[in-house]
Amino acid sequence: LSPEVGKICWMQFFTWIGTMCLMINFTQYCVHTIYAVPDLSDVSEVVKAGYDALVMTATNFSSTCFAIFNLVCFVVAIPIGVLSVKYGNKKVHIISMLSMAIAYLGMAFFTNVKIVAVLMALSGIGWASICALPFAMLSQYIKPGTEGSVMGIFNIFIAGPQVFVCTLVSWIINKCSYRVIDGVNYHWEYTFLIGAACLIAASLIASRVKDKTGN
């Protein structure tokens, strides 16, 4: 593997930690942080029943936010491709990832449903870029005949972060509990602080990748 392929792989590793922080934990964040539903795993059925309507509202809000997130991804996919041709894959991808990091930081500190919906829309720009531009960047450095092995290695840096988020990030959140009226709750917003840090790290790594155009 060339040094540039290595940089792109590590960029992808941190990118997907950031992405999975949203994909895996956003619904829990909506339920427990935005709508302040306590953790219901150790409470009585009577207490659980009292929160049924609120949990349903939070889950529906999560679904709406994901719809907004994917709609924005769909809408900006072609403009991102046009901009990448004009300004380069690297520059457009860095800006897109940083916009997603800004959205994450907003979600870590604001719990107003309208603000969170707007921030999810902003995250959709980053998602559109993540789905396309890393592969475009990688394709510049794949030597003929090595496509299969390089893509296999590249996919490790996508699958690995999913395991990382499901284990270590979840463990960190599990250790950050606080008392509420009906028991305990967890700081699910911390997942966005971790995700933002990883997206910023990915942007820094991306800035060191040399485009074939020399940028």
State residue 28's pLDDT score.
95
Pick the closest to residue 64 from 109, 30, 96 (CA basis): 30
CB atoms within 10 A of CB 52: 11
What digits encode the pLDDT tens for the residues 172-190? 999 998 888 777 889 999 9
Residues of the chain falling short of pLDDT 50: 214
- pTM for the full predicted model: 0.92
Burial 73-102 (b: 16+ CB within 10 A, else e): beebbeebbebbeeebbbbbbbbbbbbbbb
